[in-house]
Amino acid sequence: MIVISNNGEQVLQDPNNGTSGASTTAGVQTPYDDNDDTLVGVVNESSKPVYALQLSGESTGTPLFGFEGDGICTYATGGSDTNNGSGGGTPVPGAGGYTGDQYCTPSQLEGSLAPSGPDPNGSDYQGPNNTFSNISADTDSGDVNFSNGIAPGQSTYFGLEDSLTPNEVAVEYGYWMAASDGGIFAYDAPFFGSMGGKPLDAPIVGITADPKTGGYWEVASDGGLFAFNAPSSAPWEASR
């Protein structure tokens, strides 16, 4: 489990987490495939939304993103590696899906049994609101991207091909810059729109994020607020 706070991040491991008779990787029982894959939970205890994680096993040669087609979705209800499936992995005794597995698409459920075989981008390892990108040629490093961010106090999960250690995680919060004409420049952060190109009574002087939605407000010098994927309730606010 990756716990993110304003003071940094921790990688916690539970040696008792796993199935009966599960094998171990670096002394840690694997949670779902009885072999080498790892289920990773992420909890955001910071005061800002988290949009991505950079993971790297380069120093240890750990193929975190060496996806083999037996991700967590193949152990979902109807997945190829559940007891009712016929995938290449080892079905976990009693496995018949898990809470929240409804997000898995037919191709994610198939995993290695998909017509094109294992997805090198690891779609079957994805959780309900994340994707993988920037996977290195040696599959030791890559990014985990969270759609709309993980808001403070929220959590999510995904699968990897091996265990993490504390020095293999870097958090990407991302940021925005707002121009006086309302244009917004997003850096490793989602773009939900801007006042750029729209008539303004006063110039834009600031931008602030909504920690609950991952959206933001632009504020003008006359006190006007323009909300983008963020709540708008006061008379002087305008949702765009």
Q: What percent of the chain has pLDDT over 90?
A: 36
Query: In the predicted model, is pLDDT for residue 240 greater than 50?
Result: no
pLDDT > 80? residue 200: yes
Instruction: Quote the DSSP letter at residue 181.
Output: T
User: Quick one: average pLDDT of 61-66?
Assistant: 89
Rg (Cα) of the chain, in Å, rounded?
21
22 or 216: which leads in pLDDT: 216
pLDDT tens digits, 132-159:
988 999 999 898 988 778 889 999 999 9
| Structure-token pair, residue 45 | 């205890």
The whole-angstrom separation of Cα 165 and Cα 183 is 40
Question: Tens digits of per-residue pLDDT, 10-60?
Answer: 888 776 655 433 334 344 444 566 677 888 999 999 888 888 888 888 877
Please tell me the predicted confidence (pLDDT) of residue 21. Answer: 38
* Residue where the block lists tokens 């599960």: 22
pLDDT score recorded for residue 43: 96
Average pLDDT, the chain: 81
Three-point CA angle 176, 181, 186, nearest 5°: 15
> What is the structure's pLDDT at 50?
86
Q: Give the position of tokens 């290449």.
A: 88
Question: Secondary structure of 72-98 in the HEC alphabet?
Answer: HHHHCCCCCCCCCCCCCCCCCCCCCCC
Domain ranges of the chain: 2-172, 175-239
Comparing CA positions, the residue from 223, 173, 237, 228 lying closest to residue 196 is 228
Nearest to 161 by CA among 116, 118, 115: 118
